[in-house]
């Protein structure tokens, strides 16, 4: 990591530690929004909303690896808010939009004056661009998208269409119906969106853009899961020091020590996977898709295993709402299943390798 990247992570981590404690998370869980406008405003002022937007449109012009480093910190803190969908929307517009579309839409998104979400997944497990079915008739679209995070507060929606195309839609346009769903991860509530002959701006620039967008999502989800698993290991260590049984902290028992040490040695080497996958998307296009799928499959599987063991290390308390572990357990569950589960991504890896 460069000195600038270290500083970026430290700045975001410092903000998250001071402004996003679990007490604040639980308040947001109670109101169901999964969004703190104060967090959004502060992070927008820090440039987080426009990290991968080109400088000419008001962004920082950074690369996906820089964005993934922020995603890791957001995973550590279980940061609520529409950041994932917003980042992907700005990335998609930057890749596929015309000069006119980029100049009209991106500046407000980069500054955080408006929020965006992405509508890519359809049905159960239909996440790849070749599976998208939203119909296009001229500049109007019709179809259904599932698991659209923070759709209820978005100003604009980047929609995946049939034949792997993308479109930008005003979230308040006539013909859009947003139905909120019950999701397990309360930091990222989601909705089902029905588009009924909705006017849209079709983005037609660049072949393979939709595939690159989904690959970028895979890397960001993997980085988030890595950060969440790291946080759980820290919680495990703290609990092993404070919880006493038979007159001593449970961390002095060999079985507990070895379990926590194993979780750490299994997770830490996976850091290189998402670093490389993020770098590949900007610099090694020939291996980017396979690296992204491999990264999401392996890291979210390892993170989920760490989450399960973290619950067990906390004993009966680990299964309760009061225990903080459940926050990161659920966040990892979302990271693992959204836009392709590990089995689907391993199948994609095999297909890309010609197996």
- 55 falls within a domain: no
Are 206 and 93 a contacting pair, CB within 8 Å? no
- 245 falls within a domain: yes
> Region 252-267: what's the mean pLDDT?
91
Q: Give 124-131 contacts, CB < 8 A, sequence gap 24+.
A: 125/340, 125/341, 125/344, 127/214, 127/338, 127/339, 127/340, 127/344, 128/214, 128/340, 128/348, 129/160, 129/164, 129/210, 129/211, 129/214, 130/164
- Compute the distance between CA of residue 208 and CA of residue 288 in angstroms, rounded to an integer: 12
Name the band, by pLDDT with cuts 50, 70 and 90, for residue 273.
Answer: very high
- 256 falls within a domain: yes
Three-state DSSP at 86 gives helix
Question: How far is the CA of 247 from the CAs of 12, 47, 239, in angstroms?
Answer: 40, 50, 15
- 248 falls within a domain: yes
Identify the residue whose tokens are 């067990």: 312
Name the band, by pLDDT with cuts 50, 70 and 90, for residue 142.
Answer: very high
- Residue 82 sits at φ, ψ, to 5 deg, of -85, 30
Q: What global pTM score does this model have?
A: 0.96
* pLDDT score at 204: 81
* pLDDT score at 90: 98
- 99 falls within a domain: no
Does pLDDT of 171 surpass 90?
yes
* pLDDT score at 129: 94
* pLDDT score at 31: 84
Average predicted confidence (pLDDT) for the chain: 95
Name the band, by pLDDT with cuts 50, 70 and 90, for residue 245.
Answer: confident
Inter-helix orientation angle 209-242/271-283, to 10°: 160
Number of structural domains, the chain? 1
Return the C-alpha torsion angle 92, 98, 103, 106, nearest 10: -10
- Residue 144 sits at φ, ψ, to 5 deg, of -130, 140
Structural domain including 325 reads 209-352
Give 292-322 pLDDT, tens digit per residue: 999 999 999 999 999 999 999 999 999 998 9
- Both tokens of residue 302? 């390892």
- Residue 133 sits at φ, ψ, to 5 deg, of -130, 0
* pLDDT score at 210: 94
- Compute the distance between CA of residue 96 and CA of residue 62 in angstroms, rounded to an integer: 17
* pLDDT score at 340: 94
- 113 falls within a domain: no
> Region 261-269: what's the mean pLDDT?
94
DSSP per-residue letters across 246-305: TTEEGGGSHHHHHHHHHHHHHHGGGHHHHHHHHHHHHH-HHHHHHHHHHHHHHHHHHHHH
Give 81-115 pLDDT, tens digit per residue: 999 999 999 999 999 999 999 999 999 999 999 99
b/e code 136-149 from CB counts within 10 Å (16+ = b):
beeebbebbbbbbb
Name the band, by pLDDT with cuts 50, 70 and 90, for residue 205.
Answer: confident
> Region 213-219: what's the mean pLDDT?
97
- 162 falls within a domain: no
Does pLDDT of 1 surpass 90?
no
- 75 falls within a domain: no
> Region 49-59: what's the mean pLDDT?
97
Are 60 and 70 a contacting pair, CB within 8 Å? no
**In CATH, what number is assigned to the domain containing residue 294?**
1.20.140.10
Identify the residue whose tokens are 């029905």: 194
Does pLDDT of 138 surpass 90?
yes
């Amino acid at each position: 990591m460069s000195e600038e990247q270290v500083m970026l992570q430290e700045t975001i981590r410092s903000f998250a530690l001071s402004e996003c404690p679990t007490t604040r998370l639980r308040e947001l869980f109670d109101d169901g929004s999964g969004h703190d406008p104060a967090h959004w405003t502060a992070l927008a002022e820090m440039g987080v909303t426009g990290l991968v937007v080109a400088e000419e449109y008001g962004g920082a012009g950074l690369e996906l690896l820089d964005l993934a480093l922020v995603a890791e910190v957001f995973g550590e803190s279980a940061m609520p808010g529409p950041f994932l969908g917003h980042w992907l929307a700005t990335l998609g517009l930057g890749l596929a939009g015309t000069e006119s579309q980029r100049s009209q839409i991106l500046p407000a998104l980069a500054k955080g004056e408006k929020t965006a979400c992405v509508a890519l997944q359809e049905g159960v497990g239909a996440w790849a661009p070749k599976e998208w079915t939203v119909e296009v008739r001229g500049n109007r679209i019709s179809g259904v998208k599932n698991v659209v995070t923070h759709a209820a507060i978005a100003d604009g929606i980047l929609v995946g269409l049939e034949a792997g195309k993308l479109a930008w839609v005003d979230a308040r346009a006539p013909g859009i119906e947003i139905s909120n769903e019950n999701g397990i991860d309360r930091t990222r509530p989601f909705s089902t969106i029905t588009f009924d002959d909705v006017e849209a701006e079709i983005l037609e620039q660049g072949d393979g853009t939709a595939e690159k967008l989904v690959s970028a999502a895979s890397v960001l989800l993997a980085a988030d899961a890595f950060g969440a698993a790291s946080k759980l290991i820290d919680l495990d260590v703290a609990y092993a020091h404070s919880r006493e049984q038979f007159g001593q902290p449970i961390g002095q028992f060999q079985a507990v020590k070895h379990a926590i040490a194993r979780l750490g040695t299994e997770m830490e080497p996976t850091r290189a996977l998402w670093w490389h996958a993020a770098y590949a998307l900007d610099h090694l296009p020939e291996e980017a898709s396979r690296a992204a799928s491999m990264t999401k499959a392996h890291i979210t599987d390892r993170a989920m295993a760490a989450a399960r063991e973290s619950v067990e290390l906390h004993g009966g308390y680990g299964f309760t709402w009061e225990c903080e572990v459940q926050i990161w357990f659920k966040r990892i569950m979302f990271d693992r299943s959204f836009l392709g589960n590990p089995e689907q991504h391993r199948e994609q890896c095999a297909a890309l390798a010609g197996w």
